[in-house]
Structure 1
Amino acid sequence: MAKTWIRREVEIPNHMALARLEKCPELGPRVLFFSGGTALRRTSARLVHYTHNSVHVVTPFDSGGSSAKLRQAFNMPAVGDIRNRLMALADQSLRGNPEIFALFAHRLPKATGGQDELRRELDRMVRGRHELVAGIPDPMRKIVRNHLAMFQQNMPDSFDLSGASIGNLVLAGGYLANRRHLDPVIFMFSNLVQVRGTVRPVVNKNLHLAAELADGALVVGQHRMTGKETARLSQPIARLFLSDETGRPVEQPIRDKMRGLIASAELICYPMGSFHSSLLANLLPRGVGQAVAGASCPKVYVPSTGDDPECLGLGVADQVERLGQTLMADAPGIRLCDVLHYVLVDSRHGQYPGGLDVPRIRNLGVEVIDCPLIGYGASTDIDDRFLAPILLSLA
């Protein structure tokens, strides 16, 4: 079978193409996102109206909140971002899915009556007597109860349930029940709630993010970079790498399954979100850069608008360079034009604290697409109503 490149002019957004996709989303394009956080949640939910074939490569390196407690207790990858993306892509019209969504979004309260009270609430869920579980139809209810029971049986006596995400506990129980493999759990829940797309962690290992700052200081742990649970970084991030919990660098290759997912993409998107801990983190495992370079599809970066504590001292042009450097470091011979073609910005309404510098981006050989991305009102966030149609028009 012969292959060739075809250049064509594209209308953005292409309303005729979008209308066709809405009529037959099961045949929609394979748009692949490297994204770990919640910034893409609304866009993911909108995508299902146009394509059921999007691919979401998420980070399993979260080290804060509920995920951190599970990782410490069971030496496992983080599952919070996986849970978020599965629910964003689930078919909400399916019987039982709104109830599953409500359960997975539920968090146990911060302990006011002590851990015993929280353990009793968890036990009611395991027994199926809690209102959030009782309303779920079988067989989903039995599976949820079995996975929560597995978690309950293996939960250390010292485990702190305050603020625990029930969805994370269910996935952790499934992970333990499937001999510490995530893929079977993701596959099962994807089928149960009819996830309109594919969700996979970039690697299935219990690793951490580490960063060397401009002053030489070492920061270990994703949660120490985002400024959400600790003080914001006072120095720019100079180098990002995967590590064990002590900060010792670890080299981790991707599996052939992940190579295949990347190779099959019809568009690759590096979306908005925390630049280092959500986006670049996904590009660090060995083999990602080669796989992206080998994929014969458009590749688009959508920089965040507004404040990103991880981008201290970085304008959009700097981000483009760092994104390219991270991917090109994977193997000799990879060029920026192999891994990035377009940067999507809204220079009129978007706020880019470090500066945009369109001429510099274009001098790197990357085309800038300047179009409306920001919604109406005071918000400077990228609006899924604009972003999803534009990405699909480029695919």
Structure 2
Amino acid sequence: MPDKALRKIVLTRTVNLPDPVRTAMCRRSPELGPRILFFSGGSALRRLSQKLVDYTHNSIHLITPFDSGGSSAVLRKAFRMPAVGDIRNRIMALADRSVKGNPEIFELFAYRLPKTETPEKLRERLEAMARGADPLVRRVPDPMRKIIRSNLGFFMDRSPKDFDLRGASMGNLILTGGYFNYKRQIDPVIYLFSRLVEARGVVRPIINADMHLVAELADGTRLVGQHRLTGKETAHIASPVADIHLADDPAGFISVEPKLKAKVADHIRGADLICYPIGSFYSSVVANLLVKGVGDAVAAAECPKVYIPNRGHDPEELGMGLADKVATLLRYLGRSCGTAVEPKRLLQFVLLDCGDREALAEAARVRRLGVEVIDAPLVSEKSAPYLDPRRVIEHLLALA
């Protein structure tokens, strides 16, 4: 007899924030933990991700591949590829360092070549690593060592002799070699290295493309490149951001609206909770929403959607209050939808610390946008003035 057709019903439930029982269950069996999905990039979520593996092994991290600073910038310029630095950071944050081989891989991936060595010495060092003669690689057990050596070999074969290795991240070079090994496909490389280090979660770029972030400021200034917006490698912006979009060329003149891949959309639709987390507002969070179809997938996900605003100063948020940031998220989510969608299907909650008086003063404005404000003690004595990762996680678990 054929199985009866599955029926879907919608339930409304009341939750405790945080929920000690749910927290204890997740800690006892993190392999059965909820699929909490984060739209992020950069390093702001690193500490939270490291703690998150104690509660769930099923988190999903969609990362922006548009980083144009540091080691990633050198690789992108040389090879016309998406940035891999933030992807590497998140994989390593989720890694289980207790498994045999993981501490050695973590050390290798985190290592940066010296900035003071000559190009010839750096090339010799990299060749020794590819041969397995360098101590950092020799300590990694097989078969992981063979895979790493193979990918370093691919990188050396493709890189020009004058490639600038000063300060280069070994993790980035290894992932780049794998990128060429898999014919410029980044997903198989991420999957392989996630398995190698037993990453307790899924990490994927929002899109596998070499694109550039372009910001239009309110005073008419046009900034091309994510690094020019963050204030980490250049001066802070002097005028608020009016709009951002993606371009297909380094000069930023060819605007594009890339489409979301079906597999990434499936991750979004299947989430138990969707989070727009702390991090650089435009270059880490909103940048993910520039891909066409993201809003549709979020709207189709039958789960809570929550925004966690930054507690500290973010140069990208110049001139913005909490309500402005919520309205901006809704605007870009709406843009990425194929048809008009009710705001409550895109964002339902703002989770902020009860001591953030400036943000709480805007609670009424936020609620008029159709978004509920949840104020909770998210800052601990140890974490002050920043959010305590464990307190944030416990609240997310209760909502999931």
Answer whether TM exceeds 0.5 for this pair.
yes
Find 2:144's aligned residue among 140, 165, 168.
Answer: 140
**Is the CA contact 1:134–1:141 (under 8 Å) kept in the aligned structure 2?**
yes
Match of 2:266 in 1: 260
Match of 1:207 in 2: 211
CA distance in 1, matches of 2:270, 2:313: 33
Find 1:98's aligned residue among 93, 100, 103.
Answer: 103
The 3 A distance-change label for structure 1 pair 339 and 94 is same
Match of 2:353 in 1: 346
The 3 A distance-change label for structure 1 pair 154 and 283 is same
Which structure 1 residue ranges, 5 or more long, are not aligned? none
Matches within 5 A, 1:316-327: 316-327=322-333
Match of 1:272 in 2: 278
Q: Tell me by how many angstroms 1:55 deviates.
A: 0.5
CA distance in 1, matches of 2:74, 2:374: 42
Q: Tell me by how many angstroms 1:355 deviates.
A: 7.7
CA distance in 2, matches of 1:293, 1:119: 49
CA distance in 1, matches of 2:361, 2:381: 21
Amino acid at match of 1:321: A
CA distance in 2, matches of 1:70, 1:113: 19
**Is the CA contact 1:303–1:344 (under 8 Å) kept in the aligned structure 2?**
yes
Q: % of aligned pairs identical?
A: 54
Q: Tell me by how many angstroms 1:375 deviates.
A: 2.8
Deviations 1:76-113 (A, max 9, x none): 00000110111111111100001111111111111x24
The 3 A distance-change label for structure 1 pair 178 and 238 is same
The yes-or-no answer on 1:129 pairing with 2:129 is no
CA distance in 1, matches of 2:330, 2:255: 21
The 3 A distance-change label for structure 1 pair 213 and 175 is same
Secondary structure of the residue aligned to 1:38 is: coil
Deviations 1:123-156 (A, max 9, x none): 2211212221111100111111111111111111
Match of 2:398 in 1: 393
**Is the CA contact 1:351–1:380 (under 8 Å) kept in the aligned structure 2?**
no
Deviations 1:6-43 (A, max 9, x none): 22111111111111112211111111000111111111
Amino acid at match of 1:292: V
| Higher mean displacement: 151-160 or 90-99 | 151-160
Q: Tell me by how many angstroms 1:204 deviates.
A: 0.3
Find 1:63's aligned residue among 53, 68, 92.
Answer: 68
Secondary structure of the residue aligned to 2:125 is: helix
Match of 1:30 in 2: 35
The 3 A distance-change label for structure 1 pair 344 and 170 is same
Deviating above 4 A after TM superposition, structure 1's stretches of 4 or more consecutive aligned residues are none
CA distance in 2, matches of 1:246, 1:209: 10
Secondary structure of the residue aligned to 2:296 is: helix
The 3 A distance-change label for structure 1 pair 378 and 301 is closer
Match of 1:231 in 2: 235
The 3 A distance-change label for structure 1 pair 355 and 229 is farther
CA distance in 1, matches of 2:387, 2:86: 20
Matches within 5 A, 1:97-246: 97-110=102-115, 112-244=116-248, 245-246=250-251
TM-score of the aligned structures, taking structure 1 as reference length: 0.97
The yes-or-no answer on 1:74 pairing with 2:79 is yes
Amino acid at match of 2:99: L
Deviations 1:249-303 (A, max 9, x none): 1110011001111110010000000000000001110000111011110000000
Tell me how large the CA RMSD over aligned residues is.
Answer: 1.3
TM-score of the aligned structures, taking structure 2 as reference length: 0.95
CA distance in 2, matches of 1:120, 1:310: 41
Match of 1:40 in 2: 45
Q: Tell me by how many angstroms 1:335 deviates.
A: 2.0
Secondary structure of the residue aligned to 2:76 is: helix
Match of 2:364 in 1: 359
Q: Tell me by how many angstroms 1:3 deviates.
A: 2.1
**Is the CA contact 1:315–1:355 (under 8 Å) kept in the aligned structure 2?**
no
How many residues get paired? 392
Match of 1:329 in 2: 335
The yes-or-no answer on 1:16 pairing with 2:18 is no
The 3 A distance-change label for structure 1 pair 355 and 220 is farther
**Is the CA contact 1:316–1:356 (under 8 Å) kept in the aligned structure 2?**
no
**Is the CA contact 1:210–1:241 (under 8 Å) kept in the aligned structure 2?**
yes
Match of 2:3 in 1: none
CA distance in 2, matches of 1:59, 1:374: 27
CA distance in 2, matches of 1:283, 1:23: 34
Deviations 1:231-265 (A, max 9, x none): 11111110011112121211100110011111100
Q: Tell me by how many angstroms 1:2 deviates.
A: 2.4
Matches within 5 A, 1:375-390: 375-377=380-382, 379-390=384-395
The yes-or-no answer on 1:295 pairing with 2:280 is no
Amino acid at match of 2:346: V
